[in-house]
């Protein structure tokens, strides 16, 4: 980024179509296309803009287009659907029967698009990507998959959950090469962010060259805005290249997530079940969720955001925790102890209390019922399976000459933690 800053300056200087285009922007798009094994990619200022611009531009350009949207889709997708002016149907979260009932209402010749996500950020549930792609083929629909909360964290190269479905095949195939028949290959449009796992800022789409050219040519959200600063593009390229090659961060995050969920279960703190890295802790009341968040920060120096309506339904208010590869065993123990203390102090419902009430959003419910809409493979608890974690571990140990895989905590952060202990 420093080299790009010295070479290009701090800003892009204009829109992509006038003066804001550079070799770094083209290189970033090439890296993203390679990551997702697609023909082309297009970078936006954020994934909110990418979703809004792509959905509104594409669906308004298809005469009579009908959009089918998952009930839990992100606000950016809802905004794009609204701006398209197309007719829409909202299907119950991950409910394939409901989606097919809606699709079956229209002739195959009617332009259709199914919009859904891979990892849903507030619940941690995973979209049923292969099944939805199969329905799309059956009824002649375009698939639009938001991988914002998955890129960098799933798949052997960090391309997301769609890549993770074909983990072994993705390991074997040359980077960037299309894997015919794979789940990733079946998805028409993938959107993602550079601002979460990749640690920079910006959003993008990856798709066929013709579709990307169409969005580049007609989407106001791309045409009429200043492009990403060249240092940002350079940083994003470096981050994508690093996470494409390194399994260390994914291994550390997933093993930490597993242990945290187990520890919270042992403490009776109610975690909404899901197969991803998201750890939603059910509170069930907006005021209590805010109070729990405030107490964690004021008394325990731990920041965890409370999530209330309209982001989640009334009665399903929660705290959302997202462990990262930099967290360690000490941090996890402090968090579990703090949550246990807050739950006792505020008298919040624990898992056994939700069981007595019949359960809510998977907590305290019959396991078969709670698995109904969590996605992923039925009967498989985690997206990252044991054998895949072992492969990631062994790969990193070999890559680093046998050095143990431990969280990399910056020295300044470690000093703060030690002072608080």
Spatial separation of the C-alpha atoms in residues 11 and 228, rounded to whole Å:
8
User: Is 196 one of the annotated active-site residues of the chain?
Assistant: yes
CB of 164 within 8 A of CB of 155? yes
Spatial separation of the C-alpha atoms in residues 157 and 170, rounded to whole Å:
8
Element (H, E) at 251: helix 248-266
Of 100, 112, 104, nearest to 140 by C-alpha is 112
Spatial separation of the C-alpha atoms in residues 76 and 83, rounded to whole Å:
11
Spatial separation of the C-alpha atoms in residues 145 and 74, rounded to whole Å:
11
Edge-to-edge order in the sheet of strand 305-307: 279-282, 318-321, 305-307
Q: Please, what is the Cα angle at 250 between 246 and 256, to 5 degrees?
A: 140
Q: Please, what is the Cα angle at 239 between 56 and 29, to 5 degrees?
A: 40
Residue 223 zone, left/alpha/beta (φ > 0; ψ -120 to 50; rest): alpha
Spatial separation of the C-alpha atoms in residues 314 and 309, rounded to whole Å:
6
Residue with tokens 């390991």: 171
Spatial separation of the C-alpha atoms in residues 239 and 145, rounded to whole Å:
22
The residue from 196, 261, 290, 400 that is catalytic is 196
DSSP code for 279: E
Beta bridge partners of 114: 68, 143
The Cβ of residue 313 has, within 10 Å, a number of other Cβ atoms equal to 11
Active-site annotation, residues: 196
């Amino acid at each position: 980024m420093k080299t790009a800053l010295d070479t290009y300056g701090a800003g892009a200087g204009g829109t992509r179509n006038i003066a804001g285009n550079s070799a770094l922007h083209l290189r970033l798009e090439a890296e993203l296309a390679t990551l997702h094994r697609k023909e082309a990619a297009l970078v936006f200022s954020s994934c909110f803009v990418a979703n809004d611009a792509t959905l509104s531009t594409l669906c308004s350009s298809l005469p009579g287009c009908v959009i089918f949207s998952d009930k839990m889709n992100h606000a950016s997708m809802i905004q794009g659907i609204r701006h398209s002016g197309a007719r829409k149907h909202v299907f119950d979260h991950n409910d394939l029967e409901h989606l097919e009932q809606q699709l079956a209402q229209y002739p195959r010749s009617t332009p259709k698009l199914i919009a859904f996500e891979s990892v849903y950020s507030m619940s941690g549930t995973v979209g049923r990507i292969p099944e939805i792609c199969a329905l799309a083929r059956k009824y002649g629909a375009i698939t639009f998959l938001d991988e914002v909360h998955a890129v960098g964290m799933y798949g052997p190269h960090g391309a997301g959950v769609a890549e993770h479905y074909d983990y072994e095949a993705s390991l074997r195939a040359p980077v960037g090469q299309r894997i015919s028949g794979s789940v990733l290959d079946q998805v028409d449009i993938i959107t993602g962010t550079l601002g979460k796992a990749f640690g920079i800022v910006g959003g993008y789409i990856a798709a066929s060259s013709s579709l990307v050219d169409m969005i580049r040519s007609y989407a106001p959200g791309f045409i009429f805005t200043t492009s990403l600063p060249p240092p940002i593009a350079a940083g994003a390229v470096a981050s994508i290249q690093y996470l494409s090659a390194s399994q260390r961060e994914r291994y550390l995050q997933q093993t930490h997530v597993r242990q945290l969920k187990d520890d919270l279960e042992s403490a009776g703190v109610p975690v909404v079940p899901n197969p991803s890295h998201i750890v939603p802790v059910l509170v069930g009341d907006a005021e209590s969720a805010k109070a729990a968040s405030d107490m964690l920060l004021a008394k325990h120096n731990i920041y965890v955001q409370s999530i209330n309506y309209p982001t989640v339904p009334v009665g399903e208010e929660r705290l959302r925790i997202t462990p990262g590869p930099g967290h360690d065993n000490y941090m996890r123990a402090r968090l579990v102890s703090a949550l246990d203390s807050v739950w006792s102090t505020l008298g919040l419902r624990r898992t056994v209390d939700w069981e007595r009430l019949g359960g809510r959003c998977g907590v305290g419910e019959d396991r078969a019922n709670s698995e109904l809409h969590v996605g992923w493979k039925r009967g498989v608890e985690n997206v990252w399976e044991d054998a895949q974690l072992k492969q990631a571990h062994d790969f990193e140990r070999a890559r680093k000459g046998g050095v143990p895989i431990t969280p990399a905590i910056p020295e300044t952060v470690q000093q703060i933690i030690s002072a608080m202990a």
